[in-house]
Amino acid sequence: MDTAVENKKKATRKKTNKPKYNKETYLNWYELMLRIRRFEERALMAYGQQKIRGFCHVYIGQEAVSAGIESALKPGDAIVTAYRQHGIALGRGVSAKAAMAELYGKKTGIVKGKGGSMHFFFAENKYFGGNGIVGAQIPIGTGIGFAEKYKGTDNLCVTMFGDGAARQGALHESFNMAMSWKLPVLYICENNGYAMGTSVGRTTNVADIYKLGLGYDMPSEQVDGMSPESVHEAVAKAAKHIRAGKGPYFLEIQTYRYKGHSVSDPAKYRTKEEVESYKEKDPIKVTEKGIIANKIATSQEINKIKEKVKAEIEEAVTFAENSDFPDPSGLYEDNYMQKDYPFIKD
């Protein structure tokens, strides 16, 4: 069976109706997911206007993953992920202004125009970045967790990657050492069904990605990624296990991207019906419906959030538009910590 269809079935199966968390939690999830969605829509528009260049991989459809992870973590925990990372960064507290300005390549961007779409970093909230080499962040996240254990903290590192990266050798080397050394690492595979244009089933005999953890005796589970509730629950459970000193945990979170791999991808490798079927389970719509139906908040409160987010994103675009590009001499900054490094300039 096609993996994407299979994912959809599982996503449907785990749908929850009764509210389990307080009002603040639901509204925070809703607001963050909406912020990510509106940010990405506006980024796509700016890309079309050629104001954003380079590669641009948007997170539309996957918002519930970021929302559910963030609500289940505590301050001090770290996150590292791959290049589809605007949503993760916003979840980590990167402002829409600093994120949009980065996409515009402006010096007010979160990394001063040095990273662009694939490389946001935010040291203050322990966001170790968007990594552009598929799977390279898996050992790095393992090392971030290693350092936490070495320092004797109870922090963990959420190490995220896609279904494509799950086939890199780096994953197996990391899983092995993390289990062997009982490192505080929560591995999360965001399985959106496609490694660029290649569906999961076309590159493997083991389409259930969570099973890759089982070979190392790592606790491993599949999670519905279209619901912030299910993501939160799974992450909270895993974090408890990790903080108890029992070592790493692996979650395969099944999600879906509505857009192509990157802006330049028309996504002809999948059917319109498949995409539409996921949009019916849209995490933002479903969460909004649940909030209203269960009387968690009023439609006025929801509208207020919508307006707030809309204004925030517009402000971010204005900020990005009005900011300056970095001075060309900045090219020589941040290559070395050594301030007087003798660059070859002839």
Partner 1 sequence: MARELALRDALNEAMSEEMRRDETVFLMGEEVAEYNGAYKVSKGMLDEFGPRRVIDTPIAELGFTGIGVGAAMNGLRPIIEFMTWNFAVLAFDQIVNNAAKTLSQSGGQFKCPIVFRGPSGAAGQLAQQHSQTFESWMGNVPGLKVISCIDPADAKGLLKSAIRDDDPICVMESELLYGYKGEVPEGEYLVPIGVARVRKEGTDVTIVSYNKMVLTALEAAEELAKEGISAEVIDLRTIRPLDYGTVVNSVKKTNRLVVVDEAWPFAGVSAEVAYEIQKYAFDYLDAPVTRVNSADTSLGYAPTFVEEYLPNPAKVIKAVKEVMYIKG
Q: Which residues bind partner 1 (CB under 8 A)?
A: 78, 80, 109-115, 119, 121-123, 128-129, 131-133, 136, 138-148, 150-151, 157, 169-170, 172-174, 176-177, 180, 333-338, 341-343, 346
Helix, strand, or coil (residue 185): strand
Distance CA 183, CA 248 (A): 6
**Distance in Å, CB of 56 to partner 1, minimum:** 16
**Distance in Å, CB of 256 to partner 1, minimum:** 28
**Distance in Å, CB of 115 to partner 1, minimum:** 5
Indicate the residue among 1 and 123 with the shorter CB distance to partner 1: 123
Indicate the residue among 24 and 333 with the shorter CB distance to partner 1: 333
Indicate the residue among 68 and 139 with the shorter CB distance to partner 1: 139
Indicate the residue among 44 and 147 with the shorter CB distance to partner 1: 147
**Distance in Å, CB of 298 to partner 1, minimum:** 41
Indicate the residue among 45 and 331 with the shorter CB distance to partner 1: 331
Identity of residue 168:
Q
**Distance in Å, CB of 83 to partner 1, minimum:** 11
**Distance in Å, CB of 243 to partner 1, minimum:** 17
Distance CA 113, CA 240 (A): 38
Indicate the residue among 14 and 172 with the shorter CB distance to partner 1: 172
* Phi–psi pair at 88, nearest 5 degrees: -65, -45
**268: nearest Cα among 256, 259, 276, 277:** 259
Distance CA 291, CA 298 (A): 8
